Amino acid sequence: MSAPSPTEPEGAPEEERDFVRYLFWRLRPEWRWRPKPERELGRQELATVLTHPPRDLTLRAFSLVGTKAGTQGLLWMVTPRVEALQELESRIWGTRMGSHWEISHSYLGMGRRSEYLDEHAHAGQEGGHVVLGSKPYLFVYPFVKKREWYRLPFEERRKVMGEHFRIGHKFPSVEIHTGYSFGLDDPEFILAFGADRPEEFLDLVQALRPTEASRYTELETPIFTCLGTTVPEMLELAEGRSL
């Protein structure tokens, strides 16, 4: 699987760029042993923090209960200030339930326009200003290209990516959100695909496997299947429901 849009940064930024973060978390088992009234208050307290983030930060909540071992929830966040991400995380740790959170994975990137797209663009999906998608399913993974990719002439890379785009356009309902992480985090890119149904993304990935661009994939795991939900529902699913 390789991304339809990565490119390396060249020159100084010419557009305002948002930060995007994918914070995957799990709940320590000890929290479930607490008395029920304390847990209910803890959920309400943390839900208030997450539904009232810093004014310039927007987020969506997702559950991974039943889809991925080792993690239970995702906060997909966008903000023009990296300090806002720091402020929200500190607020989380300051709550009773949040003090029992563990971060299983965390990815930080920025939005920017791909140079391979020419005049073509997906509104809210490509560019410095990032818009959180509204699809019910989100598929997230870090992505790294082989170094040989960057030694190819730019026009050759653009041609290779053209094939990638043509296949991607056969799946118009699947949204792509590319975060650029060069120098900001361990991967080069953070890729997220929004879909109405999981099989749409499965078929897209399979169709991309034979492409020339896929030869230059170095890393594309772990992969996270995330189900969109509300903040209270995300917390309740992670804590566990009684019969």
Q: Which of 107, 116, 137, 141 is catalytic?
A: 141
pLDDT of the residue at 162? 85
Q: Is 141 among the residues known to form the active site?
A: yes
**Choice among 69-78, 98-107, 167-176, 187-196 with the minimum mean pLDDT:** 167-176
Does residue 238 contact residue 226 with C-beta atoms inside 8 Å?
Answer: no
Structural domain boundaries in the chain: 19-239
Does residue 194 contact residue 138 with C-beta atoms inside 8 Å?
Answer: yes
Rounded mean pLDDT, 62-80: 98
Task: Encode pLDDT of 5-52 as tens digits.
Answer: 444 445 544 678 999 999 999 999 999 999 999 999 999 999 999 999
123: amino acid identity, one letter: A
Number of CB atoms found within 10 A of residue 155's CB: 8
Question: Under 8 Å CB-to-CB from 168, ≥6 apart: which residues?
Answer: 4, 174, 176, 204, 208
Eight-class DSSP state of 119: T
Q: What is the pTM of this model?
A: 0.89
- Residue 196 pLDDT level (bands cut at 50, 70, 90): very high
pLDDT of the residue at 14? 63
Helices (H), the chain: 36-51, 82-93, 147-151, 154-168, 198-208, 231-239
pLDDT of the residue at 5? 44
Does residue 133 contact residue 22 with C-beta atoms inside 8 Å?
Answer: no
Rounded mean pLDDT, 195-200: 97
Predicted confidence (pLDDT) at residue 124 exceeds the cutoff of 60: no
First to last CA, the chain: 40
Q: Which value, to the nearest 10 degrees, does the dihedral of the CA atoms of residues 108, 114, 116, 121 take?
A: 120
130: amino acid identity, one letter: V
Rounded mean pLDDT, 189-196: 97
Eight-class DSSP state of 95: S
Predicted confidence (pLDDT) at residue 125 exceeds the cutoff of 60: no
**Choice among 101-115, 120-134, 159-173, 204-218 with the minimum mean pLDDT:** 120-134
Picking from 20, 60, 94, the residue whose alpha carbon sits closest to that of residue 234 is 60
Share of the chain above pLDDT 70, in %: 89
Separation CA 57–CA 153 (nearest Å): 38
Task: Encode pLDDT of 87-119 as tens digits.
Answer: 999 999 999 999 999 999 999 999 988 777 665
Class of domain 19-239 (CATH, top level) = alpha beta
């990935």: which residue's tokens?
205
